Amino acid sequence: MATTGSWRRQVDRDGGLLLFRAAGVPVLLAPSWWLGSLVVIALYAPLVDDLAPGTPPLIGLAMAVSFAIFLALSVLAHELGHCLAAMRLGIPVRRLRLFLLGGISEMRTPGVPGHEGAVAGAGPAVSIGLALVFGAGALVMEPNNVIWLLVAQIAAANLAVAVFNLLPGLPLDGGRILRAGVWAATGQRGTGTRAAVFGGVLVAFALVLWALMGLAEGSEDRWLRFGVCLLTAWFVFAGARGELAAEQRRTWPAGVRLADLMRPVLQLPAESPVCDALSTSAGRGVVLVRADGMAAGLLDTEAAQRLAADSPFAPAELAAEPIRPDTVLLENEPGEQIVERVQGTAAWQFLVVDLEGRPSGVLHRDDLKRAIEEARR
């Protein structure tokens, strides 16, 4: 059991309360979820008395709390659908968060359009399945009582979640499905992203228009509709902009080859004095090799400078950065995959090898970042 101090650090670090882990994926409850649930309870409680007159206030409140809980569980099931589909396709999932407007599954970007479409479609499929299950339950129950009302409303909520998420605009699932389709048709993920971002802007505009129509018509729920639609429109618009910015950051700079960015590589004995390794490197990547022919790692120049300041003749291996599978790049690897790997890996330099596994260069994170920024200007 975690101590109070570690629990607080977990909340501060992850931006939410860790509820549990599903197949190793942390499931977090963001602070904004509590606000959203209070709003749901406040709106649902009066509805109970309208649709089931004579319901005692405490029973109505209990039904409202139950609806908020079932709604959260439905959103959780929706997001777990995304996570399960991603993990079955070998896509790493970082975490799942429940927040004010629903939930989000944070995962590595799928590398092929088919995977993108499958992962995006899994969530709405779960919501539709839940809508059918609860809808069938409502059909076999005696209508016009609070339990029937709760079951029917859960069915309607899941259907609404599925329909809304299938709207063709990022960051919604429908936008990801649209991106996957355009990506598959054109072979360009960036083209799919721009099409889906445009769809997201249209969805946000439609939400604002519907909210204004409610005000103009003087509908009973006009202010509720206005508030919810504006908040949702902001979420969609901000998410679409974020997706476009992320796409620009992960796009390989046009006209630039990997060979143009990677630095020459030099192999030195791991027992070489660190001062000699530093002076020999001179802007090159250094692979430190042990006497048995195994690589000890890449020379970390900052660590080597610190070591040389105290012990200039210490073995350079003491300032080596391990070579891990995720820090090795193939020289013929697609540019977008290289950007994805570099941005998603906690390392500042990457060993580039040829098809036979021989070192051909070293790519520094900062060099790639600088090239992408220059291409965007």
The residues spanned by each domain of the chain are 4-166, 258-376
The pTM score is 0.72
- The ranges of the chain with pLDDT < 70 are 1-15, 49-52, 101, 220-221, 224
CATH code of the domain occupying 258-376: 3.10.580.10
- Please report, to the nearest 10 degrees, the dihedral formed by the alpha carbons of residues 269, 271, 274, 276 taken in order: -50
98 beta partners: 29, 103
**How distant, in Å, are the alpha carbons of 51, 142, 291 from that of 145?**
9, 7, 80
Does the N-terminal peptide bond of residue 325 adopt cis geometry, omega within 30 degrees of 0?
Answer: no
CA 55 centroid distance within chain: 43
3-class DSSP assignment, residue 291: coil
Contact 341, 247 (CB under 8 A): no
pLDDT given for residue 12 in this prediction: 38
Token pair recorded at residue 226: 């206005």
Backbone dihedral angles phi then psi of residue 350, each to the nearest 5 degrees: -135, 135
Give exposure, 335-372, as e/b (b: 16+ Cβ within 10 Å): bbebbbbbbeeebbbbbbbeeeeebbbbbbeebbeebb
Interior angle at CA 144, CA 143 and CA 149, nearest 5: 85
Token pair recorded at residue 277: 């390794």
Contact 231, 101 (CB under 8 A): yes
Dist. CA 93–CA 28, nearest whole Å? 13
Among 79, 243, 247, 321, the one annotated catalytic: 79
Give residue 193's identity as a one-letter amino acid code.
Answer: T
- Confirm whether 79 is a catalytic residue: yes
pLDDT given for residue 6 in this prediction: 35
3-class DSSP assignment, residue 127: helix
Number of H helices, E strands in the chain: 13, 11
pLDDT given for residue 101 in this prediction: 67
Catalogue the E-assigned strands of 232-372.
265-269, 285-289, 295-299, 320-321, 328-330, 349-353, 359-364
